[in-house]
């Protein structure tokens, strides 16, 4: 099964996007995921059961919950929130161990739809200071979930390998600007570098160095997009030893230099790691996403009017 590494470029621990999915193979990640189906029909597979989703319905996945998507006819259009448990760790530290008891047919779908649409509109418009409004909407979403959907605290992982990798991935996220070496991390864990390297490949699907490089690159890309920092300063802030290494990383992974990326040479929408050949999905720009949400609201309002008239 694929382990998806989710990027949080714009908000700490948060990713919000619109995507058209034709097929998304089984995968898991450390984030909560809440999906609002905007158009089309979709089948969701998780824990051996299948559920069909209709427009206006939501699906909720807890951290590390396996799930797969398949459009019923043409592509299914979704608004998706992915939230790392770290976003609320300071006031709800047990968030990473929460398992929600419902995946679909949520008991608070109407207010959740409203909060999700408001969140999407705030994030895609990106007006000055939008970060405050966005995090307020994220907390409103989770206030609804924890107030109306059944949940429980899962015991700590018994799989030591998975627990180790999860712990080290969190350390990388928190300390990517510092020198991080596999040998030193392995010594701190009391295991060999070979064992830790194998564990990363087994549970995350890539090497330790690839994971570290990806995290650093994502943060560097965010700084290029949102600040006027020099490339040299970004190197220091993101753990690169010199601009030469940052440029080489950008050329290899983005197909352009940092300067070209800052000028918009590549799209910002596809923020996950490369995925398997069986997966078919299409991302949208912020402007396109706003138009899609407006069309959804208009269609939903029209349906309400039609129901009242009938």
Q: Give mean pLDDT, residues 155-169.
A: 71
Does position 306 have pLDDT exceeding 60, yes or no?
A: no
Same domain, 165 and 32: no
Task: Give pLDDT, residue 131.
Answer: 95
Q: Let me know if residue 51 belongs to a domain.
A: yes
Tell me which of 276 and 163 has the higher pLDDT. Answer: 163
Instruction: Provide the CATH number for the domain around residue 171.
Output: 1.10.10.60
Does position 14 have pLDDT exceeding 70, yes or no?
A: yes
Q: Let me know if residue 100 belongs to a domain.
A: yes
Same domain, 19 and 34: yes
Which of 124, 153, 182 is at the close of a domain? 153
Instruction: Provide the CATH number for the domain around residue 144.
Output: 2.60.120.280
Q: Let me know if residue 112 belongs to a domain.
A: yes
Same domain, 11 and 113: yes
Share of the chain above pLDDT 90, in %: 51
Task: Give pLDDT, residue 271.
Answer: 42
Q: Give mean pLDDT, residues 140-152.
A: 95
Same domain, 100 and 180: no
Least confident of 10-19, 153-162, 203-212, 220-229: 153-162
Task: Give pLDDT, residue 73.
Answer: 81
| pTM exceeding the 0.95 threshold for the entire prediction | no
Q: Let me know if residue 274 belongs to a domain.
A: no
Distance CA(82)–CA(310), nearest Å, equals 38
Which of 153, 176, 197 is at the close of a domain? 153
Same domain, 169 and 217: yes
Task: Give pLDDT, residue 304.
Answer: 42
Q: Give me the DSSP letters along the chain.
A: -EE-----SSBTTEEEEEEEEEEEEEEE-SSEEEEEEEES-EEEEETTEEEEE-TT-EEEE-TT--EEEEESSSPEEEEEEEE-GGGGTTT-GGGGGEEES-SSS-TTHHHHHHHHHHHHHHHHH--TTHHHHHHHHHHHHHHHHHHHS-EEEPPPPS-HHHHHHHHHHHHHHHHTTS---HHHHHHHHTS-HHHHHHHHHHHHSS-HHHHHHHHHHHHHHHHHHH----HHHHHHHHT-SSHHHHHHHHHHHHSS-HHHHHTT-S-SS--SPP--TT-EEEE--HHHHHHHHHHHHHHHHHHHHHHHH-
Least confident of 86-100, 129-143, 205-219, 286-300: 205-219
Task: Give pLDDT, residue 291.
Answer: 96
Same domain, 128 and 13: yes
Same domain, 143 and 171: no
pLDDT in tens, 64-120: 899 999 999 889 999 999 999 989 999 999 998 899 998 998 888 999 999 999 999
Q: Let me know if residue 111 belongs to a domain.
A: yes
Same domain, 112 and 184: no
Quote the domain boundaries for residue 228: 160-262
Q: Could you identify the residue written with the tokens 């706003």? A: 290
Does position 265 have pLDDT exceeding 90, yes or no?
A: no
Same domain, 99 and 184: no
Which of 153, 177, 197 is at the close of a domain? 153
Task: Give pLDDT, residue 156.
Answer: 61
Banded pLDDT at 38 (limits 50, 70, 90): very high
The number of domains in the chain is: 2
pLDDT in tens, 186-210: 998 889 999 988 888 887 778 899 8
Q: Give mean pLDDT, residues 295-300.
A: 90
Does position 172 have pLDDT exceeding 70, yes or no?
A: yes
Instruction: Tell me the angle at which helices 109-125 and 130-148 cross, rounded to the nearest 10 degrees.
Output: 160
Q: Let me know if residue 97 belongs to a domain.
A: yes
Same domain, 106 and 147: yes
Same domain, 14 and 146: yes
Contact 232, 239 (CB under 8 A): no
């Amino acid at each position: 099964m694929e382990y998806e590494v989710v990027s949080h470029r714009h908000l700490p621990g948060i990713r919000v996007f619109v995507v058209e999915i034709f097929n998304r193979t089984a995968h898991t990640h450390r984030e909560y995921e809440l999906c609002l189906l905007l158009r089309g029909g979709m089948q969701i597979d998780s824990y051996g059961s299948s559920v069909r989703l209709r427009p206006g319905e939501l699906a909720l996945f807890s951290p590390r919950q396996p799930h797969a998507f398949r459009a019923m006819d043409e592509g299914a259009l979704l608004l998706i929130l992915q939230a790392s448990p770290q976003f609320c760790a300071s006031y709800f530290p047990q968030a990473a161990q929460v398992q929600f008891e419902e995946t679909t047919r949520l008991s608070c779908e109407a207010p959740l739809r409203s909060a999700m649409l408001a969140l999407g509109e705030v994030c895609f418009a990106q007006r000055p200071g939008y970060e405050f409004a966005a995090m307020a909407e994220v907390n409103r979403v989770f206030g609804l979930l924890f107030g109306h959907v059944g949940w429980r605290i899962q015991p700590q992982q018994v799989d030591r390998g998975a627990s180790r990798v999860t712990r080290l991935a969190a350390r990388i996220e928190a300390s990517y600007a510092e020198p991080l070496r596999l040998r030193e991390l392995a010594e701190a864990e009391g295991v060999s570098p070979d064992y830790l390297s194998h564990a990363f490949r087994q549970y995350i699907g890539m090497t330790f160095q690839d994971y570290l490089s990806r995290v650093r690159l994502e943060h560097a890309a965010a700084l290029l997009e949102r600040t006027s920092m020099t490339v040299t300063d970004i190197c220091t802030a993101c753990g690169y030893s010199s601009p030469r290494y940052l440029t080489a990383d950008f050329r290899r992974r983005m197909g352009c230099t940092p300067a070209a990326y800052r000028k918009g040479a590549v799209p910002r929408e596809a923020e996950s790691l490369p995925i398997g050949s069986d997966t078919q999905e299409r991302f949208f720009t912020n402007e396109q996403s706003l138009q899609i949400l407006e069309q959804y609201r208009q269609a939903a309002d029209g349906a309400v009017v039609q129901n009242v008239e009938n």
